[in-house]
Structure 1
Amino acid sequence: TDIQPCFILTTNVDESLENNIPGVTVVQRSDIERCIHLLRKQQSFVGKLHGSISSIKTTVFTSDDYTTLIGESQYLNLLKHIFGETTVVFLGYSLGDQYVLDTLQSSAEQHGIFGDGPHFAVISDDDLSLPTSVRQIRYLPEPHLDHRSAMQILDTIRHYHVSDQQIISQEAQKVVTLHELTSAYFISDIYPVGTWTTSQTLDTTGVDGESRQVIVGQGFTDLEMPSRISNPMHDLIVGLICFDVLYLPLSSLSRLRD
């Protein structure tokens, strides 16, 4: 398959999937929680929810087998994890099991802010009973009345999966390597140790006898200064030692020279 990694949960007891998909790990019902570990490792698997014909004791055929299955905590824990942490595409499955619908609904309620999924059900007819977290993908059962028509959705998924990988590969080639980067440090202003005047004040008297005041500069007082501690040498040393380029405003060069 072109879809890698490939995660499949199936209720079919035959072994056609694992025999025709190379490189997948087969997880039997007796060890079904292992699927969670394989998901985290991004390792392809086929999970046999109802067992396999090669391990007949694990198969689910009778109503008693079914009752036992839905009472197993490891089985329900797997479904809760799958519905809460992944996006599921239901293919060839009618979603008629009430415990599956209940688990989907419970997962959606637990993720009330952002929601879970979304999940997708590939079906031929509308199903109004599905939870809101399950989006329906309709298909026409033509030219076949069985699930063969629904399999076309896999071609669509494969197409976009491969396209996304190509886009990611192309973008990865554009990443700038570390040795091409240059670090820089910008010091917005410098006031070395000493007394500095931020303005000049001129008092004058007009021809009308009124007193006037002319202020040239910003005119900061000591209380208005953000800090009265001079640290230009510390900033300069950090900039010169730790960075490739040091930037200073031209207006501060004269103070630095003094």
Structure 2
Amino acid sequence: MKSRLLWIRTLLVAAIVFVVLSQLLRPSLVGQWYWASALEKLEAGENDQAIELGQKAVDWSGDSAAMRMRMAELLYRVERNEEALALLEPAEESEEEDVTLLPMKNFLLSRMGEHERALALADDLIAAADEGKFHRHRALNNRAYATALALSDDAELPPEALEQAQKDIEEAIGIYGADASYLDTRGYVKHFAGDNEGAVGDLNVAIEIYQSLINQVEEEEDVWGTMKEMRLKQAQGMIGVLYHHRGEALKALGREEDAKRDFEQADKMGYSRQKGHW
């Protein structure tokens, strides 16, 4: 009887161990672990190790489009743009583009200075929204912001592009409301349209909203270890972008000292095209 109970207990333990190991060794989880390790190496400036770990994450993900997108971002950050661009192409000609990844791809192309491709992708996102595959207000904001980023790089755009960007962001706000990121887009578009007073007004409100968010996060308990720190860093990076945009508008108004303070605050908060706070 005892030997039988021992055998049953051993079998149960083996089954539990099998279940635990099968979960731990799931390709997606292993891929996520490699990716987290790659980001740690990237932040530490150990670029070669970051790339090696990132490639392992791609392999364990089954060469998924989402992980290739992340890897392209990593390669861009270490100034290996040609490899990054290659990863943005579908793995197979028959592979259908994942609509949810288009905004990330669009933004990465803008950061790389590939504005023509970024804006073409923004048009694709509008078309997807027209088919009910994506939120229209997000697609409109995406195209308006991509246009503003192109103008910030002095890219040659059709004369009607700026007017279309103004229409896009007004419609987006009309649908969704005065979200801080949408106010940022409208303010930045106004700057390029020459309405710098209007730009400062929108950006003032957006900065207030994000500052309230930062204050709220700072007061929260850090239940999950680094989660609070991550949320703070993300919010600070975003408000850094707003300060930089407002600084550009203030400079255009001739308010040099105010602009200088905003640019300094932007740098302090982590404004960086390379890191995606742009």
Give the TM bin, normalised by the shorter chain: under 0.3
Rg comparison, structure with higher value: 1
TM-score normalised over the length of structure 1: 0.28
Q: Relative contact order (C-alpha < 8 Å, sep 6+): which is higher?
A: 1
TM-score normalised over the length of structure 2: 0.26
- The structure with the largest helix share of the pair is 2
- The structure with the largest strand share of the pair is 1
